[in-house]
Amino acid sequence: MKIHRLPVFLLLLLAVSAVAAIRAEDGYRLWMRYDRMTDDVQRSAYARALGHIVLATPAGTDSATIAAARDELVTGLAGLLGITPDVTTGRAPAEPCAGDDGYSIKVVSEGGRHQVIIAGNRDVGALYGSFALLRGVQTGKPVAALSETCAPRIGRRILDHWDNLNGLIERGYAGFSLWNWFDLPDYVDPRCRDYARAAASLGINGAVLTNVNADALVLTGPWLRKVAALAGAFRPYGIRVYLTARFSAPIEIGGLKTADPLDPAVAGWWKDKADEIYTIVPDFGGFLVKANSEGQPGPQDYGRNHADGANMLADAVAPHGGIVMWRAFVYDQHVPDDRIKQAWNDFKPLDGRFRPNVVIQIKNGPLDFQPREPFHPLFGSMPRTPLAAELQIAQEYLGSGIHLAFLAPMWREFLDSDTSGSGSGSSVARVVDGSVDHHSLSVIAGVANTGSDRDWCGHPLSAANWYAFGRLAWDHEISSEQIANEWVRMTFSNDPRVVAPIKAMLLASREAVVDYMTPLGLAHLMATDHHYGPGPWVDNMRADWNPVYYHRAALDGIGFDRTSTGSDAVAQYAPAVANRFGDVATCPENLLLWFHHVPWDHRMQSGRTLWDELCLHYQRGVDTVHGWQGSWAALKGLIDEERFGHVEALLARQERDARWWRDACLLYFQTFSKRPLPAGVEAPEHDLAFYEGIQLNYVPGAGGKK
């Protein structure tokens, strides 16, 4: 027998390739990992059924979007099944499915001939259906279950990027901006296309490119041509671009002496600017505006109200089909009222006074993306105005890019909240989708967690939040369990030994973070500015930025009285909701200290005192994270080494941080409670002075501040 000896360089190449194959999982492919299925029987069944696919639309013609769908199907099925499907175009019957973005998938088998028809009312519907088909294959759906008809419940499903023109991302924890502004418009990084693919795979159809703390420069001609280049890369994937509008732009780049929205010259400037934008970007989506909040200019600078400002911009974009998303995140340190009441006070009286193409964009809670808040009282309070939900995918207050915190359960809790308290179907989700008050304009926005890191989101498990936002934006009734199950199967493996523990970690993670950061309704205990570590003692800035403003710990107890005996914030909710929150006996214990100032010896439902319950929550958070370390260690060898090692290191950091949170907060609160730690709670490693002395510099996401 003749032995063929390979050259040494080829042996080395093969060895390097083998190692690369083991370590190639850097997270770049996200949930679109089209690796070969290991179940031969299932793979064969799929291969027989999916060999011929028709992309059907009413026009029945090809387009850049249909080409993107075809490419995805060919690439995906070649990887998953080892086949090259025959993908053709065809004419669909009129309105094959509901809504502009809807799709239907039909798996047809007749006389031994198999065919799949993916139909959409528009080309983008066929694209969404193609991704849905691939998702079904990736997650192991039976062939018969691949057939479905589906349409989004919310019309505009948008990612808000808090990206600055210098490449930094405010509250970004995964590197720099994806938008290579300096190279644009001459060169568009191919990663921008991959971003659009990933977003479109979830049905996301819009991207706000710039920070809500806006820079008027982006509205100038040279920068608009850069925006147009990005819009061109996104367009085949059904994604429209939006920009943040700095309210003072007429002064800063327009040469006017005022930005008064009722000044005809100002309105004329914005109309001309809108005309210019739509000439350069014909499918421009519209403006997102942060005004009269945290130092941003706005109509109140001129004695006008938010409707005056929003309507002026809305009139400018209306002839082109554009919209204005006007943020309700407004508060003023000079207003003596409870900070969380101020948005309702400003906007509730303006209900019905906004143009039809204005939507008021409201954070999920009345404060600021805390680990847990009650739903914002504006939902359910403005029936004559379309209301958009703003969620934060980036983990500004939940451990940034270091901590595991799967946010689908948080968003489910918010979306399921009953705004009327009567069980009449007036959930936040149905307010947002327009069905409660019969609005045709519907928007949901998520503050993106993407960046230039190779794995997109910084933490190998954080992409689950991007995925969760997209799935809930499409269908706000989908469960957290289903989302977690899909994401783990598509991102890691269908092996039950992998799926079960990672899914369990994801589903427990948000509550664990609440436990070791802000249990029982506490909020905003984070250190000032960077919001990463604990700082319940901080009292050195404007009052409404200080943690002591929110927890109000004292010898007599802890918590913010927002009942009729305090700030009366509960009165902003519907009566049934207000009654429930306002009574210490019926207020959910996970919001108790949000609405009530409670004595340390108050008896909780468990029979324990408030102090003991608080301590045990902090300990439970630490214990949960510690348990994940063992669960993750058991996955060694079942997933790739690169992501395994990365998560292992981050979980160790998260456990240390959880202990830091527990020890710092309990030692501080103990100075008021004067009570010992209960049995089962570990003693702090250091004294309070040690924790008060910790200083963090240049924390990612803090805008470069020291």
Rounded Cα gap, residues 208 and 155, in angstroms:
15
Q: Which residues, other chains included, contact 87 with Cβ-Cβ below 8 Å and sequence gap of 6+?
A: 53, 54, 55, 69, 70, 73, 74
Residues of the chain with CATH 3.20.20.80: 156-477
Give the Cα separation of 420 and 435 in Å (integer).
15
The boundaries of every CATH 3.90.1330.10 domain in the chain are 515-560+597-692
Quote the crossing angle between the two packed helices 463-474 and 190-201, to the nearest 10°.
50
Contact between 566 and 683 (Cβ < 8 Å): no
φ, ψ of residue 57 in degrees (nearest 5): -135, 160
- Beta strand 323-327 with 52-57 is unpaired
- Distance CA(157)–CA(442), nearest Å, equals 9
CATH topology classification for 33-150: Chitobiase; domain 2 (3.30.379)
Return d(Cα 284, Cα 279) in angstroms, integer: 9
Q: According to the model, what pLDDT value does residue 2 have? A: 33
Provide the Cα torsion 672, 678, 682, 683; round to 10°. 50
**Structure tokens of 488?**
């783990």
* Architecture category of domain 156-477 in CATH: Alpha-Beta Barrel (3.20)
Q: Is 82 left (phi over 0), alpha (psi -120 to 50) or beta?
A: left
Tens digit of pLDDT for each residue in 65-120?
999 999 999 999 999 999 999 999 999 877 677 788 999 999 998 877 899 999 99
In the chain, which residues have pLDDT < 50? 1-23
pTM of the model: 0.96
Residue pair 160/447 in contact by the 8 Å Cβ criterion = yes
- Write out the catalytic residue numbers: 294, 368, 396
Please count the other Cβ atoms lying within 10 Å of the Cβ belonging to residue 308.
18
pLDDT in tens, 287-325: 999 999 999 999 999 999 999 999 999 999 999 999 999
Helices assigned H by DSSP within 209-337: 221-234, 249-252, 264-280, 306-317
Listed residue (523, 535, 526, 524) closest to 694, CA to CA = 535
Kindly tell me the sign of the dihedral angle through the C-alpha atoms of 548, 550, 551, 557: positive
Output the pLDDT for position 112. 79
Amino acid at 559: G
- Going by DSSP bridges, is the β-strand pair 148-150/103-110 parallel, antiparallel, or unpaired? antiparallel
**Other beta carbons less than 10 A from residue 405's beta carbon:** 27
Q: Which CATH superfamily is domain 515-560+597-692 in?
A: Alpha-glucuronidase, C-terminal domain (3.90.1330.10)
Q: Which residues pair with 248 in a beta bridge?
A: none
